[in-house]
Every structure is written in C-alpha cells, then in structure tokens.
Amino acid sequence: MINLKKVKNPMPEQDPIVRAGNFEEVAEGYTAQMAINEAMRCLKCRKKPCTKGCPVMVRIPEFVAKVAEGDFEAAYQIISDTSALPRICGRVCPQENQCEGFCVQGLHGEPVAIGRLERFVSDWHAAREEEMEKAALEAEDDEFAEFAEEEVIESNGRKVAVVGAGPAGLTCAGDLAAKGYEVTVFEALHKPGGVLAYGIPEFRLPKDIVAAEVRKLEKRGVTFVNNAVIGRAETVDELFEDGFEAVFVGTGAGLPSFMNIPGENLLGVCSANEYLTRINLMKGYLPEYDTPVQKAKNIAVVGGGNVAMDAARCAKRMGAENVYIVYRRSMDEIPARAEEIHHAIEEGIDFQLLKNPVAVLGDENGYVTGLECVEMELGEPDASGRRRPVVKEGSNFVLDVDCVIMAIGTKLNKLILETTENLEANDRGGIGTDAGAATNREGVFAGGDAVTGAATVILAMGAGKTAAASIDEYLGE
Ligand code: FAD
Ligand code: SF4
C-alpha cells in the first residue's frame, strides 16, 4: 500500500530549550509504527533515482519495502550489503543532497525520510544483537552462545596496516578482516573513530555507536594500536619492514585553517577542531573531567558548514549566552546539513549572514573583546558556482564577543606525504590515487579526506571499501 501523505512522519526530538542544556541525542528515533508509516510513502519508482543519489548505492526501494512489510531484519541485510556504517550514515549523511534529493515524492512535497528509516532499521538490528549477546552471557545452555563469541574467520596469514581509524580506515579494516586478512589499525589519537569520535558531538552521534562499530571490528580480529602517529613513531616504509604487505592511509584532513586576520593570536581564539576535540574526545562537557575548554559568555563561530554548526551548538550547551554564526554568504549557499541548521536555529543560535570578519579585537591583557566584521552582498557566481560575496564598503561593525571559534575548513596534514618515500600528491595537495585507491607506491593505498580534502562520512566509507577490494586483488595475485 502507498501512502500519499506529502510530508515526512516527524522525528520525535528533545524539546529545544531542554536539549540546549544537555549533550544527549537530539533526535530520538522513529518507533516501529512510525517507520512502517513512513516507508509506505515510497512510490516504488522503477528507475530508483534515490539509489543513484546514494554514493554507495544502497538498494533503497528494496529496503524501504521491507520496512513497510515490518521485516526489519531483511531491511537491515539489504542496507548492510553496501553500507558498512548504517547507524552512523542514517544520522549524519547530508541526505537532502543525496538519496532524498532525488526522491520523486520530493517533487510535490517532502521526500521519503530515507535517512530516518536507515537509522531506525540499523538501531533496531543493533538493539536485537545486544539483547542476544546479553542472553548469551546469561544463558545456562549455549543456545545463544554464538552471539557472545568472536567471529571465527580463518586467517589467510597476510598482514595489512591501516593508518587512521576514521570511517575510511574502519571500513577498509572491516572489509579486509572479513576476508581473512590480519589487519592492524594505527591511530594517532587515544581512541579510534576519527571525526566520528573527536568532531561530531554526542548530541548528533552518540559515542557508544562508534564504540560498538570498533568492538565489532575487534570481534572480527582487527587489532587497534592507539597513540601511534605514523610518520613520527614509525613511517609507512617501516611498516613494510615490519611485515605488512599493504598499507591503507586514511588519515583525514584535520589540519585547521585560519583567516590570517589581525588579532587571530589573541587569547580566546581557537579552531573548531580543537574546541570540539576538547569537548568530545576529552569529555570537556562532563563536570567530572578537568579538560580545559574555552568558556565564554558571547561566542562567534566563523563558518557555515557542519563543523561550524557543531561548534556553535556545543558552545550553547557549554553555557554561552549568545552564540553567533558568522557566515559570508546567505542561507541559500550555507553548506551545513539542513537538519543541523534547523536545529541550531531552534536552539537559539544567532545567524549573522552576509557578514565577514576583518579583525579580532582584544584588551591590553591579550584577551578577545570583539570581532570586527563587514557586511557582504552577493555578486556573480565564482568557480564553485556559488555567488561570490563582495564587501559593502564602509559597513564595518563590531560583534561584542569574548571568544572566536574558526570553522572555515581544514587542510590535509602533510606528514605521511613528507615521510613516505616517493609518495606523490594529487593536484588538491592530498595523496594521489587512481580510481581503485592505489597510490604511485606499490602496496600503498589511500582514501577518504586524505585524498579528497574535507568531504563526507559516506564518501570516506566508500573509499575504504574500494581500497579494501583493491588490496584484496593486489595481494590475491
Ligand atoms: P577522519 O575521520 O578525519 O579520520 C582520520 C583519522 O586518522 C583520525 O582519527 C586521525 O587522528 C588519524 N590520523 C591522522 N594522521 C595520522 C597519522 N599520521 N598516524 C595515525 N593516525 C593518523 N560528514 C558528514 O557526512 N556528515 C556530517 O554531519 C559531518 N559533520 C562533521 C562535523 C565535524 C565537526 C567535522 C570535522 C567533519 C564532519 N563531517 C561530516 C566530515 C566527515 O566527518 C569526514 O569527511 C570523514 O570523517 C572523513 O573520514 P576519514 O576516515 O577520511 O578521516
Ligand atoms: Fe521511493 Fe523516493 Fe526512491 Fe522513489 S525515489 S523509490 S519514492 S524512496
């Protein structure tokens, strides 16, 4: 049966006033009945435009049909055929530009809520697995024993190193381990997950979901070595000397950019990556942790992407009274996910659109006292196709703030390129690869943000899958 309702079944959410004071997840997830109702909005289009809009080609109409039938396990199996991290992608993918952006229901109303359905199905599956595991541990007989055990995969005796435990590295490691490779993941930070652990806040992506993905890989035999900065502790070339036959580099693009305006070195200016890492990875939001975090009354966050929204919404939750997003274009060009912008507005973030900082102002002790900005207007489209912001002469004004967080993008860290012999870069400054993720160095593969520059979780995951298939082909010869 098809339900021609023009709007999505609403997502239950924490009240904006309540949630702006806590770090718990904002969206609470569909119930089974809500998911079935939403799935019944699917028109079962023959050409499947939604699937073509998904970077990893999840067979969307098929899984949605299974949800409509109430067969959630079958729906999960279809999704997980192509997506390694559905609980994460269901939460953070920019669906409006991908699958949902192509959904035919969206032509005359709202698209089918594909992301919410993906989240529902994968959460349902995870809850069922957890129940089984618990039953296995408690059971006297061994009816459920298999759920508590390690996955038994016969080793093929070949060792692969993965550098970086973000979505690209985790996916590559998972796919290779499933094929019998002995995989070791080297991660620079003290916890695996990459941006999923240190960047995206708990209220958007609970960290137990990331930890569960890591645990799944451990059960599959993957070894994690944390606090290991490859290129410093050991180089990629030395990994080969240690017996690894192939190396995948998924080191991301976490080096923050600054504007190079006067006053950026004042006390109270920081990068969004540093701010978010202190709050998320180092648990700066929990009173029992003594992680130092900028705590200010009035905060300006410069930028309009997901990183800016996350920093602004964290700042509100850390107790700031006024939080401004300072973005140089208009709401039509803002790159963050639509849902995050909507949530940020609901939580009281003040959007200063068509404004651009020209200087950070400070007092005689070197502390921030304000952000001098100019107003902008939109001119002709630039190379990116977006209208170029042009300064309105004489429009300078000062935002009264005591902290400025820069979220204007990140660059690639060159460490691996600089320390791996003869490894070539691409024209964006990332690690150069062919379509199969192979670099110019034999046995070295790369993918995710380390190749493309800052992109998305699903693209990093897709690159990890491509690389795993190429490594298997390379070592299988
Ligand atoms: P990363 O996730 O960056 O992981 C790389 C890992 O490599 C890190 O753990 C790093 O510590 C490690 N590493 C780096 N150098 C070394 C080294 N030399 N040795 C060992 N380890 C090393 N995308 C979305 O799709 N939706 C969103 O809502 C979204 N929100 C975001 C919010 C924030 C705050 C940020 C920063 C990004 C966001 N993104 C979002 C982008 C997305 O998270 C990234 O595109 C994705 O994580 C890239 O995956 P990756 O595996 O290539 O790299
Ligand atoms: Fe269903 Fe939308 Fe995909 Fe059509 S485009 S099959 S309506 S989810």
Residue 138 is predicted with a pLDDT of 78
Asked if the 16-134 domain carries CATH number 1.10.1060.10, the reply is: yes
332 HSE (CA, 13 A, CB side):
7
Residue 141 is predicted with a pLDDT of 58
Q: Is the pLDDT of residue 147 over 60?
A: no
353 lines ligand 1 (CB under 6 A): no
How far apart are alpha carbons 197 and 183 in whole angstroms? 21
* Tokens, residue 39: 């799935």
Mean pLDDT of the chain: 94
Q: How far is the CA of 303 from the centre of ligand 1 (A)?
A: 18
**Do the domains 16-134 and 159-254+412-475 sit in the same CATH topology, yes or no?**
no
Q: How far is the CA of 60 from the centre of ligand 2 (A)?
A: 7
CB 96 within 8 A of CB 336: no
305 lines ligand 1 (CB under 6 A): no
Residue 114 is predicted with a pLDDT of 98
Closest ligand relative to 430 C-alpha:
1
Q: What is the maximum span of the chain, computed from C-alpha positions, in angstroms? A: 79
How far apart are alpha carbons 335 and 286 in whole angstroms? 30
Q: How far is the CA of 172 from the centre of ligand 2 (A)?
A: 29
* Tokens, residue 119: 């989240």
CA distances from 219 to 10, 155, 172, 222 (A): 36, 14, 15, 7
455 lines ligand 1 (CB under 6 A): yes
Q: Tens of pLDDT along 381-403?
A: 888 788 889 999 999 999 999 99
Residue 284 is predicted with a pLDDT of 86
**pTM of the entire predicted model:** 0.93
DSSP letter string over 68-92? Answer: HHT-HHHHHHHHHHH-S-HHHHHHH
How far apart are alpha carbons 201 and 310 in whole angstroms? 7
104 lines ligand 2 (CB under 6 A): yes
Q: Tens of pLDDT along 249-294?
A: 999 999 999 999 999 999 999 999 999 999 999 988 888 988 888 8
Q: Tens of pLDDT along 392-448?
A: 999 999 999 999 999 999 999 899 999 999 999 999 999 999 999 999 999 999 999
The strand order across the sheet containing 403-406 reads: 269-271, 403-406, 298-302, 322-327, 350-353
Q: Read off the pLDDT band of 32 (50, 70, 90).
A: very high
250 lines ligand 1 (CB under 6 A): yes
How far apart are alpha carbons 199 and 253 in whole angstroms? 12
Residue nearest ligand 2's atom 3 by CA: 50
Q: Tens of pLDDT along 8-17?
A: 999 999 999 9
Q: Tens of pLDDT along 100-131?
A: 999 999 999 999 999 999 999 999 999 998 88
Residue nearest ligand 1's atom 14 by CA: 251
Atom of ligand 1 nearest to the CA of 464: 51
Domains of the chain: which residue ranges?
A: 16-134, 159-254+412-475, 257-410
Residue 185 is predicted with a pLDDT of 98
Residue where the block lists tokens 């700066």: 284
437 lines ligand 1 (CB under 6 A): no
Q: Read off the pLDDT band of 145 (50, 70, 90).
A: low
Residue 143 is predicted with a pLDDT of 61
Q: How far is the CA of 45 from the centre of ligand 2 (A)?
A: 6
The CATH number of domain 159-254+412-475, selected from 3.40.710.10, 3.40.50.300, 3.40.50.720, 3.50.50.60? 3.50.50.60
Q: How far is the CA of 268 from the centre of ligand 1 (A)?
A: 25
- In this structure, which amino acid lies at residue 239? L
43 lines ligand 2 (CB under 6 A): yes
Q: Is the pLDDT of residue 237 over 90?
A: yes
Residue 41 is predicted with a pLDDT of 96
Atom of ligand 1 nearest to the CA of 455: 45
Best mutation site among 43, 47, 98, 100 for ligand 2 pocket (most ligand atoms within 8 Å of CB): 43
339 HSE (CA, 13 A, CB side):
19
349 lines ligand 1 (CB under 6 A): no
89 lines ligand 2 (CB under 6 A): no
Q: How far is CA 138 from the centre of its chain?
A: 35
Q: Tens of pLDDT along 59-85?
A: 999 999 999 999 999 999 999 999 999
Residue nearest ligand 2's atom 2 by CA: 103
Residue where the block lists tokens 């070539």: 424
How far apart are alpha carbons 187 and 210 in whole angstroms? 15
Residue 152 is predicted with a pLDDT of 72
Q: How far is the CA of 311 from the centre of ligand 1 (A)?
A: 15
Q: How far is the CA of 358 from the centre of ligand 1 (A)?
A: 29
Residue nearest ligand 1's atom 30 by CA: 306
CB atoms within 10 A of CB 429: 13
Residue 294 is predicted with a pLDDT of 84
| Residues contacting residue 472 through CB under 8 Å, at least 6 positions apart | 176, 179, 181
251 lines ligand 1 (CB under 6 A): yes
The three-state (H, E, C) secondary structure of 202-243, written as one string: CCCCCHHHHHHHHHHHHHCCCEEECCCCECCCECHHHHHHCC
CB 432 within 8 A of CB 426: yes
Best mutation site among 45, 96, 107 for ligand 2 pocket (most ligand atoms within 8 Å of CB): 45
DSSP letter string over 335-367? Answer: -S-HHHHHHHHHTT-EEEESEEEEEEEE-TTSB
Closest ligand relative to 106 C-alpha:
2
* Tokens, residue 229: 């900065």
| Residues contacting residue 127 through CB under 8 Å, at least 6 positions apart | none
Q: Tens of pLDDT along 313-363?
A: 999 999 999 999 999 999 999 999 999 999 999 999 999 999 999 999 999
234 lines ligand 1 (CB under 6 A): no
Q: Read off the pLDDT band of 135 (50, 70, 90).
A: confident
2 secondary structure, DSSP code: -
What's the CATH fold of domain 257-410?
A: FAD/NAD(P)-binding domain (3.50.50)
